[in-house]
Amino acid sequence: MPEGDFDTPWHSHPFWQFDYYEDSQSVGLLLEDKTINIRNEKKIILIPPYVTHKIKAQGPYICYAIKFDSENPLFLNIKPSVLHLGLYGGIIEKILNYIPEKNEPDVQIMASYINLLLLNIAKEQGPVPVPSGKATDHRIESAIVYIKNKILEKISPHDVAKHIKMSVTHFTRIFRAETGHTPMEYVRQLRIRKAADMLKFSDMNISQISDTLNFPDLHTFSRSFKMETGVSPRDFRKKKKKT
């Protein structure tokens, strides 16, 4: 844990940086166009490559840093971001579990979660159409955001309906009218899309992907994936690796 005042020069680097400030009295991250202040709170800051920044700290603080490379063109639109625990379906917490200073890291799995996090952020910061229709009811928009943030967790129509303070029956009817799908059809489609991203951009095996996305078993995952894409997860991965 660094003690006392700390002030880095302005700098940039060719890699991505994921900083988790677990405890701090006063830390400021200065970017080219804004300043992020951290005071006695947990906060995660994502810094893309070649973004000029500096860090100023007063008093002791704890910061865990993960540095990684990625040349995925889908991530070019990502801006420096402040990330909060509980978002992105628990992906951030899964990454924190693999911080080297805390646990023996599984580099392959941690890299897969980081890629999945960046895919989520890229889609969030860019235009992300709602599948099969755009919701106009603000309650359904709220439900969609909730589903996306909980997509790696077990989720039911009752959970979503409770979140937006509606009965399950009323919620299901309005959701289908707005999107063209039942809530669980939407959840399945979203999970299959995330599975496709993981098959393309991670080294996780198919069983790990199935477990991460909360499918009840590998057979159900493979059947659902083929129903949505027309090919099995294994054939999808082989095809993408050839292109």
Q: Structural domains in the chain?
A: 6-107 (2.60.120.10), 138-242 (1.10.10.60)
Euclidean distance between CA atoms 126 and 74, whole angstroms: 10
pLDDT at 135: 54
Token code pair at residue 201: 């951009």
Count how many residues are written for the chain: 243
pLDDT at 4: 52
pLDDT at 71: 67
Euclidean distance between CA atoms 233 and 243, whole angstroms: 16
Contact 56, 152 (CB under 8 A): no
pLDDT at 216: 87
Nearest to 63, CA basis, from 90, 26, 93: 26
User: How far, CA to CA in Å, does 61 sit from each of 28, 37, 158, 185?
Assistant: 11, 13, 41, 45
- Mean pLDDT for each consecutive 10-residue tract of the chain (243 residues)? 65 82 72 69 79 75 80 74 77 78 65 86 64 65 89 89 90 87 88 90 90 90 88 89 64
pLDDT at 130: 43
| Rounded-to-10 torsion of CA 225, 229, 233, 236 | -170
pLDDT at 211: 92
Nearest to 203, CA basis, from 89, 75, 113: 113
pLDDT at 207: 94
Q: What is the pTM of this model?
A: 0.52
